[in-house]
Amino acid sequence: MSVSSITIPCLQPPWRFPSQKAPARRRSKVGSVSLPKIYAVDQSSSPSVQTPQRTTKLPLRKIPGDHGPPVLGALKDRQDYFYNQGRDEYLKSRMQRYESTVFRTNMPPGPFISSDPRVVVLLDGKSFPVLFDNSKVEKKDLFTGTYMPSTELTGGYRVLSYIDPSEPSHQKLKQLLFFLLKHRQDKILPEFHSVFSELFDTLEKDLAATGRAKYNDPGEQAAFNFLTRSLYGVNPANTKLGQDAPKLIGKWVLFQLGPVLNLGLPKFAEELLLHTVRLPPALVKADYQRLYDFFYQSSAAVFEEAEKLGISKEEACHNLLFATCFNSFGGIKIFFPSMLKWLGRAGATLHGRLAEEIRTAVKAHGGEITMAAMEQMPLMKSVVYETLRIEPPVPVQYGRAKQDLVIESHDAAFEIKEGEMICGYQPFATRDPKIFDRADEFVPDRFIGDGEKLLQHVLWSNGPETQSPSVKDKQCAGKDFIVFIARLLVVELFLRYDTFDVEAAVLSLGAAVTVTSLKKASF
């Protein structure tokens, strides 16, 4: 298979659904690499998300559940959420008790970090999409849930993830991220191939030496190297940052997400240190400054675009750091091990089907990885979507009702009052048995053929998979980018190996994956 002459697949334009074929487009030649044009996001053509319309057939039901007495109710629920039951059982038990996928409860952290932990929970695929309707819900300062981390952790700025589309700065900041994703698009595939080939070499060496190869640490280093080399043109190993970024990012993210994480520490220590008071931002100030200096020195081209959009270098840099380290790196850190876990568990039969499909398509296109070749890999694409469905990397979404609403589950209609906070737990919504057959099973070919119709119910990106992000919504700016590189991981994996085995354990964020065998490709 040739890797020296590669046609770069284009990131999906915002007006195309995943199943559509790429339209013919003019290409320019740079050496032996054919570069497609990536167009700016159409700010007016993105389809609006339609909230489910109430039908007269469904009864209007009072939202069941309660929040308990002030403070004490939230504290008790926090104990159940983190220790007595765990997140999934906490929500499932209440769903069963109230016989409803819509109910009232408290979500952590509660006292004394969150001023108001009361929420209306949505756990089905029919009610959940109201969270994507910007005319009905507000997303201001709700990215992490019922609390917002200190802006001292982001240079004093509210970064894009915490800004509602109605705010003036939202459009220009999101447009800047679209520019970041497209201005070096010709580097994405070759850098991915280079970086992840190095990662596979590392795993093979570790496996040969000890019979086991831990994926997460080298995988996180590979993820950061890929992002900075492809999007910024800088190898961190050649800078003062060196190989320290994953650890620095991990500490910084802990200070933001600690209030909603269970790290497995002794209960008293975890309650005191993480869930009751905020960790002081000053403790990671020096670490954050190292990351900031790296991005400030690496973003000259993006700063030029920021200036055109009326964004200062400082605000742009804090947003680029957050988008790269929290959103993109964080997404890859969680999603790639998850995909390896589900693929590894699926076994050799699926691996053989994927290897045959991928190698046949690549061979038919001159031994090159091309968009046309990847479009002829329906099983590969379905596997990526199925992983995003069964274990979405960002499980919880929040919104605050802008007005009095009537929402519908499959069984009833419910009134939500203006100002109430809505919390959607996505793993239940995307495993809704009234939408998906064998909803709790990993079904590799679920989204092939007529199964593509179900993509509207894959919601991992803060929007349906059949919609692309625009500056007017809160859907992940890198949605198509993440799907694209996930497909590349599967392609690279099965061009190199016939099959593999893994062991997986649960982490506070994602899974710890250990590779126990790798069988090299037999061709």
Binding region for heme: 476
- In this structure, are residues 51 and 408 in contact, taking their beta carbons and an 8 Å threshold? no
Token pair of 102, please?
């819509």
Token pair of 274, please?
């993480």
Handedness of CA 263, 268, 271, 273 (dihedral sign): negative
How would DSSP label each residue in 414-472?
A: EEE-TT-EEEEEHHHHTT-TTTSTTTTS--TTTTSGGGGGGGGG--BTTB-TTS---TT
CA distances from 356 to 148, 191, 489 (A): 47, 25, 16
Instruction: Give the Cα separation of 27 and 31 in Å (integer).
Output: 13
Instruction: Give the Cα separation of 108 and 117 in Å (integer).
Output: 6
Taking every pair of Cα atoms in the chain, the longest distance, rounded to a whole number of angstroms, is 69
**At 207, which helix (H) or strand (E)?**
helix 188-210
Instruction: Give the Cα separation of 476 and 460 in Å (integer).
Output: 9
Strand partners, 397: 424
CA atoms within 13 A on the CB side of 494: 29
Handedness of CA 317, 321, 323, 328 (dihedral sign): positive
Handedness of CA 137, 143, 147, 149 (dihedral sign): negative
> Quick one: how far is CA 207 from the chain centroid?
29
Instruction: Give the Cα separation of 90 and 185 in Å (integer).
Output: 43
Residues flagged as binding site: 476
With b meaning 16 or more CB within 10 Å and e meaning fewer, what string describes 206-242? bbeeeeebebbebbbbbbbbbbbbbbbebebeeeebe
Token pair of 94, please?
């209440």
Look at residues 296, 287, 331 and name the one whose alpha carbon lies nearest to residue 315: 296
Q: Which residue in the block uniquely carries the two structure tokens 């994480």?
A: 261
Tell me, what amino acid is at 220? E
How would DSSP label each residue in 32-90?
A: TEEEE--PPP-TTTSPPPPPPPP-TTSPB-PPPB---STTHHHHHHHHIIIIIS-HHHH
Token pair of 344, please?
């590894």
